[in-house]
Structure 1
Amino acid sequence: MSRARTQGALALVVLLASGLVGCSGTETAAGPVSTRACVILPDTDASTRWEESDRPAIERAARDAGFAVAVESAPGDPTEYAAVADGLLADGCGVMILTDIGGAAVPVVDTAHTAGIPVIAYDRPLAGADYLVSFDYAEIGRMQGRSIVEALSAEGRAPGLANVYYVGADASDATTAMIREGAIDTMASAGVSAFSEFAGAASADELAANFSTALDAHNGRVDAVWAANDTTAATVVSVLDARGLTAAVTGQDATTQGLRNLILGKQVSTIAKLYRDEATAAAKVAVKLLFGEEPDADGELDGTPFVSVGSSLVTSANVASYLNSGAVSASAVCSGIEAACAALGL
């Protein structure tokens, strides 16, 4: 067990014995100790998932586990990350659950460990964290790659001759490279190569301009677009729609818009990630760390114990089952596109 985990656990045990543990924080020789879970999520722009799904899921899971919880966003800006962390730490943290932005969380890990507070990297790898709780992003990329290859084959297009664009996501997100590697390796093994490739952009308008420029450079030829997530895919689809073009577009996160695009035939797949499961897994790790126990892990990623959370591919073939399972609101997804939903059994 790391020194940070040991200090935090011993301090908490002493406080429990004396009845002094509170939700705001208590000063000890090891630093501020609390039963509060302090959480920092990255932003609200690069993907809608953080506010739509992660925040409510983490808040619910932490409270169900008996924690007070404070969830803050570092609005997509690494320079603001430290200020957000300082505010949380000043009010007391028993454990920190951090989603990194371009390495901004690394010094926060050091500060937390100095105070005897264990750190769980949430959703993205984070150097120095005690544990990582995340989806298998390389496998998510492989699922996306397979869906592109299968869509091309279904349309009678030879993968090696197809016009496939690669559109990445937020470069500050460490999982972006993992997803890309899984997707590109899978497509390459089937003969697909990038017809055009560019990284994600800071805004939807910038991304739309970049994609439009790429299309213009290739006379509008497009068969498929590997888009890293549903937010990126939505921008790609809007550009294709404006030009009267269609293509096999991937996505990730099973957002409301992503599912709507899939049902309308504008997106071939998205990836369902059950954020409640990820949040619950992080809460379970937090509980064990606070009480000095060694959490179970599925393996390691770059030397950090890794708790892997499952994900699944959603396509037109199984979207009805996914929505009917209650994972998301079918009525919200189908509002205004009832005919398309009915055609898929919704």
Structure 2
Amino acid sequence: MTSPHREAIRTARSVVVKIGTTALTTPKGVFDASRLASLADAIQARMTAGSDVVIVSSGAIAAGIEPLRLSRRPTDLATKQAAASVGQVALVNAWSAAFDRYDRTVGQVLLSAHDISMRVQHTNAQRTLDRLRALHAVAIVNENDTVATNEIRFGDNDRLSALVAHLVGADALVLLSDIDGLYDSDPRKGNARYISEVTGIGDLDGVIAGGGSSLGTGGMASKLSSALLAADAGVPVLLAAAADAGAALADASVGTVFAPRPERMSSRRFWVRYAAESTGALMLDDGAVRAVVKQRRSLLPAGITDVSGRFHGGDVVELRGLDGTVVARGVVAYDATELATMVGRSTSDLPAEMRRPAVHADDLVAV
């Protein structure tokens, strides 16, 4: 019997397909446009079957190595950015040529973590992607490596693809790389157990996920984290090998499937929990932690023990317990300096204009 989650991916009308660097390069790390063309064929078949597809494509830095006559993938930030600058041109041209065979136009969308974290830019990116789809253009999304720094990287576009899947309201996310699914350890070392379906956190007991390759920056740890992020937001995920792209996109019969949460997370709650950049933290007493986490109630100043960071009303902040553990994230109603004067005070003791919750329950997401 076919898994209902595989069936959901097979019949999804809107799909985000993430393609890793290793799927677009030879074993020696040279960008290979013919591999990209083969993937475009599989994606075209899915679109012909009636699905909208947004592509999140890695490979810009790898595509810039040969034109710049570099001997290997650069390790310093400036050369990475230079390689990305050259490689992004080669990469989008390769996608354009591949889809031109099907009389399809492509559009490049470069995003940074900052674009996703800021609500206005987040909305603008959403509008651009939606409009490209409405105009029947194929959106090719990539991290803007030419301006990104190590501190704001997505991680080989794995996390970016999960964020984009929610951004465009996709019905499924397909992660294509050089591995055919999830194993409990490195399959290249032998005795690894294959996991065909992840329906809950218990299915990951004993799983050891490693880091990325010399060309990419993702690795299984990044893919697993991103798959769980998308699934938690309500998007089913398929992790498969790029070599199996045809089957992955046709009927989802290969790879590891991640079951989504039953109800889709709202766009605002998803942004608060996963996408927004926190600009400060509020420390809570035990009673406030229970109210926020267990009872889903608004956070009042009386339950706050300390304030840190420089933030303004409308910013996203972390809510931490007395031991420093992050228990929730939320949109704060006051500036840091204003809230510092309210710490531990009962609402009835505050002026009328300060009697709103510090973080309203509607703007709060437990983590």
Provide the TM-score with structure 1 as the length reference: 0.32
Provide the TM-score with structure 2 as the length reference: 0.30
